[in-house]
């Protein structure tokens, strides 16, 4: 299940708990909603880190290629 669907499901449970006076359902919904928010933020951080690592790897490969060419010329 996606982070956004966890959040939506949590919101629904939270609202249902509020409407029915079921505090346990409301708390369960809040927990699911917050877990979805945390998961979404974690996914964003993961994507950012992976993007940064890809750039670093590309840069290092470029440096390595240039070094190999320089060694061949000498």
* Residue 65: HSE in the Cβ half-sphere, 13 Å Cα cutoff: 6
Rg (CA), the chain: 24
Do 61 and 39 touch, CB atoms closer than 8 A? Answer: no
Inter-CA distances, 15 with 31, 35, 55, 59, Å: 13, 16, 44, 50
Q: Is the pTM of this model over 0.85?
A: no
Q: Residue-wise pLDDT tens for the chain (74 aa)?
A: 799 999 999 999 999 999 999 999 999 999 999 999 999 999 999 999 999 999 999 999 999 999 999 999 87
């Amino acid at each position: 299940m996606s982070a956004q669907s966890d959040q939506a499901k949590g919101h629904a449970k939270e609202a249902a708990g509020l409407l029915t006076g079921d505090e346990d359902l409301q708390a369960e919904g809040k927990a699911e909603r917050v877990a979805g928010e945390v998961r979404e933020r974690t996914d964003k951080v993961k994507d950012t880190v992976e993007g940064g690592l890809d750039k670093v790897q590309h840069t290092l490969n470029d440096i390595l290629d240039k070094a190999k060419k320089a060694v061949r010329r000498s």
